[in-house]
Chains A and B, each alone.
Chain A
Amino acid sequence: MKKVSVQCRNIRLAYGSTEVLKNVNLDIQPGEFFALLGPSGSGKSTLLRLIAGFNKHQHGELLVDGRDIGQQEPWDRNIGMVFQSYALWPHLSVWDNVAFGLVERKVDKVTLHTKVAAALELVGLSAFGERKPNQLSGGQQQRVALARTIVIEPQVLLLDEPLSNLDKTLRVQMRQELLSLQRRLGITTIFVTHDQEEAMTTADRMAVLDQGVVQQVGSPVELYDEPVNAFVANFVGTMNMLDAKVISQHADHLVLDVMGVGQVTLPLASEVAVDSKKFANGQSVQLSFRPHAVKLDVNTSTSDQSAIRIQGTVEASEFMGESTRYRVRVGQQSLSVDQAHYAGLPKLAVGTPLNLSLPPSQVRLLAV
């Protein structure tokens, strides 16, 4: 199967005066498993349906394999889509559901039979061809929907919130099955989700959307470690943000005034250095870091001299199993701090004073 690329060039779409997609640019590589991540109303589903042909953009180009398909009708595109509700036709058996697209393509009987059987085999439902969709479990329905789509050998596979209708354990299992299937077929796959865990665990790369704007595109690790703005930082995992001001910039370090903490020297050896050049003296920034990046000490402060020291008190705690998340009050702000848990580790009482230390390498400065 030929692997194709999908490219969005300055795509804009509005319903009346409501802009749903604002100048979207994406380059999805051939054979890539690509996630569109965003909250509801971010335009991610609209973008997916646009690629399928159910929404038409008013501006820009949609290139599949380098050809603009923006004017093609949905039935001419050969882009397979698995719907969130699965949209299995209840009047047709599982077999007929899967065969539907091949009938439209006027495939001869023998080929049709072979292909449908192969597709059902692929999703492990060979024995269920005679059943009606409503006699299947949610996970099985999901597989039928998948088989129905891949049997037509689409150029691109679109998945709209593919796992949202499944319960938790099934979701994890289906996630792995989807991924291994995609790897086996090598088909360029784009899937929409609001669940960052789902996106991060499966996608090669992902795009985070908010209010019709692509906020950032990158691998899950890139987005997690180097979010470009507060939205991405908070949507992909949890991020602490401390308000700060740039006081001065030097060849190898940066001096900040962090609210509730005081003056902080940030060595420019870290990743921060590249970005920090953009900041002007006196500019408001946010010092951001993940909850588990912080070391938490009750009595002594850490011996690591380069670490940023922060003092606070325990305000609340949530036991999460692998770790305990403390809400720590620092001046006017609250931080989330994770402490890895092991048997016998006592929970810190509310009001306990804490010394927090934060390695500068784990810090990211974000413009406000």
Chain B
Amino acid sequence: MAMNGQVAMQPQGTARPQTGWADVRPGVWLAGGLVLVFLLLFFVLPVARVFITAFLDGDNSFTLGHFSAFFSQDLMRESFMNSLYVAVMSAIFAALIAVPLAYFTVRFDFRGALLIQTLGVLPLIMPPFVGAVALQLIFGRSGTLNLLLNDAFGFTLPIMEGLNGVIFVEAIHYFPFILMNLTVALRNIDGAMEEAAMNLGCKGWRLFWRVIFPLGLPGFVAGASLVFVKVFDDLGTPLVMGQTNMLAPQAYLRITQVGLEDPMGYVISVLMIVFSIGAMVISARTLKGRDFSTLQKGGASIQRRQLSPVESALAYLWIGVILLITLSPHLGVLLLSFAKVWSFSPLPDAYTLEHYATVFQDASGMIQNTLIYCGLAAGLDVLLGVTIAYLILRTQLPARQWLDWIATASLAVPGIVLAIGFLRMFKGVTVPGTDVLLTGTWVAIMLAYAVRRLPYALRSCMAALQQVHISLEEAAESVGANKMRSIRRVLVPLMTGGILAGFVTSFITAAVELSATIMLVSADSQAPMSYGIYLYMQSVAGRGPGAALGVLAILVVAIGTYLSHRVVERAASRLAPRKEHSS
């Protein structure tokens, strides 16, 4: 019914009367066309090329032979099972960390909740492969923890051994996805949902299992499937940890060592995409028709409870332990970047600043590269994002939803797959006017970043545009501004916050991207920071400078994250509708 709160929250952009194709302006066709060409050229076709290659025989006929060859090799089968195992276990461990934290923040009224919110984003600001080496030094066989445990109790924990290590690193890196999604889901539960259950005689654990948990489930599934996909596709972490018997490292090794013609790389690519899409479809299926964010205008969230001093102390203790573990990669990298010698001892034996000196001397080009590639990629992303958002929400361009779907689909494509697609599709293609190979230039890296991070920028731009009511543009048009002018003078200024947030999100996530980078960097002079860290971390002697570069990368990302938070908050408070007088 019209008065129902859930229905009233439809996007405003759909409010315009439906009109025919004939009403679509030429400029709109042009914009839509340009976006489509970009997406086809740098995303759809390269990925399609990867798919096709996986099914093509040497004489260009269709075959499933590569797949049967894949599954007949022990190494490949093992890699496949390992990847699956690591992804599932990482999601489970991430859930074990995140679920109690999320429940704590929404249910209890104590200051630790703020701590959880902060700690919830911290792990994300450092790529997992950077922390991996530091974690080896803290939790590894002869790391801090096990040295102390061995001294005190005479036993050690195999936390970092083999696949365990990958699971551990991935879980403490990706648990924020579950934490954030679940917290939002729980926050959006209308307090009346809980009260209605209490009113009918439900309390305690039964209340949690019958009402709270099912209502929060969509958020949990969304977060957990994201963790699964991210871990399944991750290349950097297993590579740095020497666990090459997994899918992504195998694809990388086959392509780089056997060559671009080796079919195994393509088979693995197809498998990774299928699993990514599979996980997303399952998650979308679960969520379908389950928009459980039942909080209505003016409604209150579920009740918060005060903790008793004892409970509070226990809660802090537990949060403290989690905090220590999730921040250990950061602490480890920081220590490592200052450590002169650090092996077989709980803490470094001596400290030095020389790693930073090394980095500034050798790697300033890398920092510069990161800023250029990521800046250009993020700029391209917001340009595309604003255009797609406008086309979808404000025009009647036929099939405009496809632009959104295609752009978003890049979430399901691992960086390594896109990079393989680039290498394959643009093989032999030169930059116009020169004989330089396109795939040999940094432009390819930048374009890969842009395609990979477009979904983030697009979401920001869509949200920003949805908040600008169409009547604001119509008002501009009614006083004489044409479409372009009203976009420039009204729409874009009002969307600034969202656009900036999109830019920053794209920028910082591109800055820590490794899987596409590692495939596309063809000369050391082109390398961005992420690649530099990876290179340094390959050798024991390079760990110090690698960590120092990692610290710098964290700083870049942290500053970016902070700025985007600020910008979004400012924009949100500026655009928030005035409080209306309730009846």
Contacts and interface: CB of A to CB of B under 8 A. Distances in A.
Interface in A13-71: 40, 52-54
B1 A167 contact: yes
B1 A137 contact: yes
A83 B195 contact: yes
A165 B211 CA distance: 23
Interface string B221-251: 0000000000000000000000000000000
Q: What are the 7 tightest A-B residue pairs by CB atom distance, in nearest-first order?
A: A138-B1, A101-B200, A87-B192, A104-B201, A87-B196, A91-B214, A74-B198
Given A91-B292, A138-B4, A73 B203 contact: yes
Nearest to B207: A75
A273 to B, nearest CB: 38
Contacts of A87: 190, 192-193, 195-196, 294
Given A40-B583, A74-B199, A100-B200, 10 more contacts: A75-B201, A76-B201, A85-B299, A87-B294, A89-B197, A91-B217, A101-B200, A101-B201, A165-B3, A194-B583
A167 B211 CA distance: 29
B6 interface: yes
A83 B200 CA distance: 12
B202 interface: yes
Contact of A54 (B195, B206, B211, B217): B195
A148 interface: yes
Nearest to A139: B1
A94 to B, nearest CB: 14
Contacts of A164: 583
Contact of A52 (B3, B199, B202, B211): B199
A190 interface: no
B2 interface: yes
B3 A81 contact: no
Nearest to B293: A90
Interface in B521-561: none
A79 B292 contact: no
7 contacts: A54-B198, A74-B198, A85-B5, A92-B214, A101-B202, A149-B200, A167-B1
B186 to A, nearest CB: 14
A89 B193 contact: yes
Contact of B203 (A40, A54, A75, A137): A75
A365 to B, nearest CB: 32
A100 B206 CA distance: 11
A79 B292 CA distance: 26
Contacts of B195: 52, 54, 74, 81, 83, 87
Contacts of B582: 40
Interface in A326-358: none
Contacts of A40: 582-583
B292 to A, nearest CB: 5
A358 B305 CA distance: 59
A90 B290 CA distance: 7
Interface residues of B, number: 33
Contacts of B193: 87, 89
A76 B199 CA distance: 8
Contacts of B6: 134
Interface in A143-184: 148-149, 152, 164-167, 170
A141 B200 CA distance: 17
B296 interface: yes
A73 B193 CA distance: 17
A83 B197 CA distance: 11
Contact of B199 (A81, A84, A91): A81
A100 B210 contact: yes
B447 interface: no
Nearest to B582: A40
Contacts, number: 102
B537 to A, nearest CB: 46
A295 interface: no
Given A40-B583, A100-B202, A194-B583, A83 B196 contact: yes
Interface string B274-316: 0000000000000001111010100100000000000000000
B458 interface: no
A21 B454 CA distance: 54
Contacts of A152: 200-201
A149 B201 CA distance: 11
Contacts of B291: 90, 134
A162 to B, nearest CB: 13
A165 B22 CA distance: 40
Interface string A90-113: 111000000011001100000000
B512 interface: no
B169 to A, nearest CB: 34
A138 B214 contact: no
B272 to A, nearest CB: 32
A78 B4 CA distance: 28
A141 B291 CA distance: 17
B3 A167 contact: yes
Nearest to A168: B3
A360 interface: no
A166 B5 CA distance: 11
Contacts of B2: 138, 167
A312 interface: no
Nearest to B295: A85
A89 B289 contact: no
B133 interface: no
B211 A83 contact: no
A105 B192 contact: no
A85 B210 contact: no
Nearest to A134: B6
B417 interface: no
B289 A134 contact: yes
Contacts of B206: 104
A91 B6 CA distance: 14
Contact of B290 (A78, A83, A91): A91
B250 to A, nearest CB: 41
A138 B7 CA distance: 10
B215 interface: yes
A81 B196 contact: yes
